[in-house]
């Protein structure tokens, strides 16, 4: 799944490399602070989980760039 970071598709999905890095960092902090993954872990590392959550549109960076929006919070 780390290979997805090499693709421009995931970069474009979140609006650029800076926003992608910010989203990954913020979501990793949430997971380290005890947040539950939005997908099955299946032996994946936290970084792999975050990338898959992004790929499945489970998380996104809020328009203000300060918060991680979760699909379940948005009613999706």
**pTM of the predicted model, to two decimals?**
0.84
pLDDT at 72: 60
Interval 6-61: pLDDT, tens: 788 899 999 999 999 999 999 999 999 999 999 999 999 999 999 999 999 999 98
Q: What share of the chain is helix, strand, coil (3-state, %, to 5)?
A: 50, 10, 40
Q: Is 76 within the bounds of a domain?
A: no
Q: Is 75 within the bounds of a domain?
A: no
Q: Is 52 within the bounds of a domain?
A: yes
Please name the residue that has the structure tokens 């970071």.
5
- Alpha carbon distance 19, 36 (integer Å): 22
Q: Is the pLDDT of residue 1 over 90?
A: no
Q: Is 33 within the bounds of a domain?
A: yes
Backbone angle region of 61, left / alpha / beta, with phi > 0 → left and psi within -120 to 50 → alpha: beta
Q: Is 34 within the bounds of a domain?
A: yes
- Alpha carbon distance 20, 65 (integer Å): 10
Structural domain that includes position 14: 2-70
Q: Tell me the backbone φ, ψ of residue 58, rounded to 5 degrees.
A: -80, -25
Q: Is 28 within the bounds of a domain?
A: yes
Could you give the number of structural domains in the chain? 1
Q: Is 19 within the bounds of a domain?
A: yes
């Amino acid at each position: 799944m780390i290979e997805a970071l090499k693709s421009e598709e995931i970069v474009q999905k979140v609006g650029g490399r800076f926003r992608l890095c910010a989203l990954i960092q913020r979501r990793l902090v949430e997971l380290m602070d005890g947040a539950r993954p939005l997908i099955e872990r299946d032996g994946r590392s936290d970084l792999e989980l975050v990338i898959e959550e992004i790929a499945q549109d489970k998380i996104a960076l809020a328009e203000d760039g300060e918060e991680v929006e979760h699909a379940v919070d948005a009613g999706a």
